[in-house]
Structure 1
C-alpha cells in the first residue's frame, strides 16, 4: 500500500529542504513527504570554518562522486564533480559562500521566462525571507563590509554572517588591491556585486556551517515526513499526470496534489529521462516509453569555470601554513573548537575575500563581438561582471611549501560562460550514473574571457608590490602571462566550481528548449514541477548556493499562492 501525501518533494538538498519546510509550515498544514537518497549527515568535520574546503574529502560517503566525460578543450581530462548526498545536499559540502549575484541576473531571468516576479525588485524580497543575517561580524571592519540591516532578513532560517575575525594577511592584501584602484564593496548582496571585499557566508558564528537540513529540518513539524536512503527511480502516472513516486527499495507514495523534483542539475534530468520525459530520440534509443517529448531535458547545462593560482610567500605574510603543517596545533585547535567553537579552527579559512570585476576592453574582443546582440547587451550592463577572483583559498593537495614560509592561493573564475553541456543517460538502468558533459571552454568567448581573467587575477594580486615583495616562488600558474602560456595552463588546470545549472531550463512555452514554465511546472505533464538549479535559464554571477535557496523559496511562494495554503488551503 502506498502512503498518501498532499505534496511529495524528491531530493532533500539545498532547495528541497527549504521547500518542504515552507509548505509544511503554512496555515493549511498539508502533509509533505521529503524523500532523500542519502542519510542525515552528522560529524564534527562538517561544521568548523577551518574545514570548509575539506568536507567532500573527509566524508566521501556524502558525495555522489560523479565525474565528467573527457573534456575536449581541457586535454581530455575527466573532472571529478562532487555532489552532496544526504539531507542538505551540496550545502553540506560546499565552500559556504553566500552571494546573490547581480540584480541584472534576475532582471534578465524575468525577460527570458516572461514573468516579472523574477525581477530583482521582487527577487530581493524572496532572498530576505530566506536568511537570518548576523551583522555583528562586520562591526570589526566597517571599512571592508557594512551590510544594511534594512536590506537583509533576520527572520529566515538560513544563518548568514560575515566572519568576526580576519586572518593575518587579509586586510593588507585587500588594502593593496583597493589602492591600485578597485572599489571596496561593503555589501556584495545589494544587487551590485562589483568591486572587492569580504564575502558573506552560510555560517553561524556560534554553530559553524549552515546546511539546508540544519536550517530547515531540525525542528520539523509532524506533518513533514522524511524518508532517507530513498532513491526515487519511478514516477507513477495516470495518463500524463504524475500521481506518486517509488523508491528503488520498494517504498511507494502517492500525492493528492503534486510531486516536486529537487534532485539537482544532474539527477533531476536523469529522473525525468528514466521516466519518459525528454528528447524522444534519446528515449527511443534506450527503449524507454515516451510520456512527453521534451527536447530540452538534459540540455543547456552551464557552469562557472575556475582555475587556481598559487604562490609560496614569506611566513610573515600569513600564519596558515605554520598552523596547517603542525599536527599538534591542529589537534589542539580541533579540541578547542569542539568544546566551545573558538580558537584557530574558527579563524583559519573563516573568511573568503575577493571581487567581481569587468575586463577592460571586453566589448572590443573579437569573441565578444561574435556573440548575439542580446548577450552582448547583457554582458555590457554596469553590474554584470566578466570574472570573479578569490584572494585566499586552500593549498591544493600535492603542493609543498618550505618550512617557515606560507602560501597565497588565488582563484580566477569565468562568469557568464557560453559553453553548453549536457546530461544524458548511460542506460535505462536507474542504478547507472548519468553521463555529464560540462563542455568547459568549448566556446571561443569562454576561452578568451577566462584567459584574460587569469591574467588579470595574477597581475592584480601577485604583481601588486605589497604582495609581490613576499613571494618566494610560483607553485601553480602559467609559465608566463603570454596568451600561449595561459592557454596551455588552462587546459591543464581549469576545473569546475560545482555550480552546474540549467539542465531542465525554465522558459517561455514558445522556446522549444524550455522544460518548465516560470511557475516551475513541467510542460506537458500534470502534477509535476522542478525546483532546483536545473531550472536556471542563465548562470547567476555568484556562487549558486544562494540561488538554489531562492528557487526553493520561489517554488514555495507559488504553491502557497496556488493552493491557498496560507489561508488554510483549498483544492484547485
Structure 2
C-alpha cells in the first residue's frame, strides 16, 4: 500500500528537518513525509559542549561510514568522510561552528545563478528567520565580541550563542595577536568575516542544537516521519517523480513534489541510481537513463585543512589536566547531567580564529592563472584567502603529555578551493557505497594557499611572544617553515572538515554543469527538487552548517510562495 502526501522530503538532515518544519507549519497544513535512513539519536556524547568533537569518534552508529578513494596529492591516503546518519544529519556530528560566510559569497552566488533571491540582502533575512541568537554572553568580553542585535534573529528555532565563560588561554592569546596587528572582528556574522574573533556556535546553555532538536519537537499531525528508511528508488510517471520506495519496500506517493535533502554525497547517489546523471556513466552500469544531466556527481568541492599542535606548559592552559583526569571527568559528567553546568560546559565551548588575506597573493602565478571573474571575487575586501582556528582538540588525539604540560591546537584552512572531486556509483546496487573522489590539492592554487596558510598560522600563534614563552615542543606541524618541509607535511597531514558541496550544482539553464535551477528544481525532471549543500555553486567562506540551513530555508520560502501555502486565503490541502 502506498500512502500519499503533498510533499516528500528525502533526508532528515540539517536542511531536511528545517524544510519539514516550515512546510508542515504553513497555514495550508500540507501533508509532509520526512524519510530518514537513520534513527532518532539518543545516548552519550551528543549534547555537552566539551563533547564538541566526541560524536565523530565515539558514535559510529550515527555515521554513514564513507571513505574516499586514495588521494594522489596526499601520499595516496584515503580520507574517512563522516556524514551524519539519523534525524539531524551532520548537525549531530559537526563541530557546531555557526558562521554565515561573506556577503560576497551570496552576491556571487546570485550572479552565477541569475537570481537575486540568493544575494546577501535576501540571504541575511533568511538567516535571521533560522536563528535564535543569545546576546547575553557577549557582554562578558565586549572587546572581543559585540554582535549587533539588529543583524541577527531571535525568533528562529536554531539556538546560536557565544559561551558565557571562556577557557583561561583564549582571551590572552587573542589579545596577544591583536597586540601584534591583527584586526578584531566583533561580529563574525555581519557579512564581513575578516579579522579574528570568537566564533558563534549552535550551542546554548542546554547543549548542542541539532536540526532535529530545533525543528522536530512536537511535530504537527500533518508531518509524518519515517526513520530507518533509506530511500533507494524514485517512482516515475514518465519523467515526473511521483513518489519514493525505501530499501525495505515501503512506498509513498507525492501529489506535489519530492525534495532530496541527502547532502553532497547521498543526493547525487540517489539521482544516479534513478537514471538522472551523465548518460554514458549510467549506461555502463546498466541503469536506464531518465535524464542525461552531465553535472550530477561532478564539481564536488570541499575545504581542506591541517591541524597544528604544540605542547605548552600548564601556565598557558590546564585543558590537558582536565581531560586526562578520569575522576574529574566523571564528576564533570555528573554535574552536566544534573544541571548542564561545570567543566563539560566550559572546555571546548568556544572556538575562535580568523578569516584573513595572505600577503601578496595577487602576485602569485597560481592566482593570475585563474579566471578573471574569480580573480576579481578573490580580491574583494570581504573575501578571505584562508581561515585559521584556535582552541581545537589535541592532535594527534590521545597523545600523552608529562605532568605540567598541556597543548594548544590550531587549524589552517584553504578558503575558496579550486580542486574538484566527484561522486559516482560503484554499481547499480543501492546498498553499495558510492565512489568518492575528493581531488584534494590537485589545483595549484589550493596547494599554494594551504602552504602559506600553514606558515602564517604557525607564525601568528606559536611564534607570538606571549605564546612562545610557554612553548615546549611541536606535536603536529612541519619540521620547519621552509616550502619544502611544509609541502611534505601537507601530503602527510592534509584532511577534511567535511564541508563537501556542489555535487548537484545550481546553475543557469545554459550552464553545462548545472543540475538544478535557482528554485532548486532538477532540470528536465518534473516534481523533483534538491535542497542541501550539493546545490552550492561556490564553497562559502564559513563552516557549511549555516549554509545547509540557509538552503533548507530558501527551499521552504520558494515552495510556500509557489504553492500559496501561507497566503491569507490558502485553503487546507
Q: TM-score, normalised by structure 1?
A: 0.99
Q: Tell me how far 1:398 sits from its aligned partner.
A: 4.2
Structure-1 residue corresponding to 2:337: 338
Structure-2 residue corresponding to 1:185: 185
Deviation readout 1:167-226 (Å, 9 max, x if unpaired): 010000000011111111010000000000110000112x10000000000121111100
Alignment gaps of 5+ in structure 2? none
Q: Would you say the 8 A contact 1:28–1:566 is kept in 2?
A: yes
Structure-2 residue corresponding to 1:507: 507
Q: Would you say the 8 A contact 1:44–1:338 is kept in 2?
A: no
Structure-1 residue corresponding to 2:420: 420
Q: Would you say the 8 A contact 1:563–1:571 is kept in 2?
A: no
Structure-1 residue corresponding to 2:211: 212
Structure-2 residue corresponding to 1:62: 62
Matched, 1:260 2:259: yes
SS of structure 2 residue aligned to 1:334: helix
| Structure-1 separation of matches of 2:299 and 2:393 | 31
Structure-2 residue corresponding to 1:352: 351
Structure-1 residue corresponding to 2:475: 475
Deviation readout 1:499-557 (Å, 9 max, x if unpaired): 00000000000001100000000000000000000000000000000000000000000
| Structure-2 separation of matches of 1:529 and 1:571 | 23
| Structure-2 separation of matches of 1:230 and 1:65 | 17
Q: Tell me how far 1:123 sits from its aligned partner.
A: 0.6
Deviation readout 1:101-126 (Å, 9 max, x if unpaired): 00000000000000011110111000
Q: Would you say the 8 A contact 1:563–1:570 is kept in 2?
A: no
Q: Tell me how far 1:570 sits from its aligned partner.
A: 6.9
SS of structure 2 residue aligned to 1:395: coil
Deviation readout 1:131-171 (Å, 9 max, x if unpaired): 00111111111111011111100000000000110001000
Q: Would you say the 8 A contact 1:311–1:473 is kept in 2?
A: yes
Q: Would you say the 8 A contact 2:99–2:199 is kept in 1?
A: yes
SS of structure 1 residue aligned to 2:413: strand
| Structure-2 separation of matches of 1:461 and 1:220 | 47
Deviation readout 1:15-58 (Å, 9 max, x if unpaired): 00000110000000000000000000012410000010011211
Please give the residue correspondences for 1:272-283 in structure 2 after superposition, counting only pairs within 5 Å.
272-283=271-282
SS of structure 1 residue aligned to 2:478: coil
What is the CA RMSD across the aligned residues, in angstroms? 1.0
| Structure-2 separation of matches of 1:296 and 1:489 | 34
| Structure-1 separation of matches of 2:390 and 2:122 | 32
Q: Tell me how far 1:383 sits from its aligned partner.
A: 0.3
Structure-2 residue corresponding to 1:327: 326
Q: TM-score, normalised by structure 2?
A: 0.99
Distance 1:141 1:331, change over 3 A: same
Structure-1 residue corresponding to 2:490: 490
| Structure-1 separation of matches of 2:58 and 2:448 | 36
Deviation readout 1:449-489 (Å, 9 max, x if unpaired): 11000000000001100001100000000011000100000
Deviation readout 1:340-378 (Å, 9 max, x if unpaired): 000000000011010100001000001001111011011
SS of structure 2 residue aligned to 1:284: helix
SS of structure 1 residue aligned to 2:467: helix
Alignment gaps of 5+ in structure 1? none
Please give the residue correspondences for 1:31-180 in structure 2 after superposition, counting only pairs within 5 Å.
31-180=31-180
| Structure-1 separation of matches of 2:218 and 2:201 | 23
Matched, 1:238 2:248: no
SS of structure 2 residue aligned to 1:233: strand
Structure-2 residue corresponding to 1:371: 370
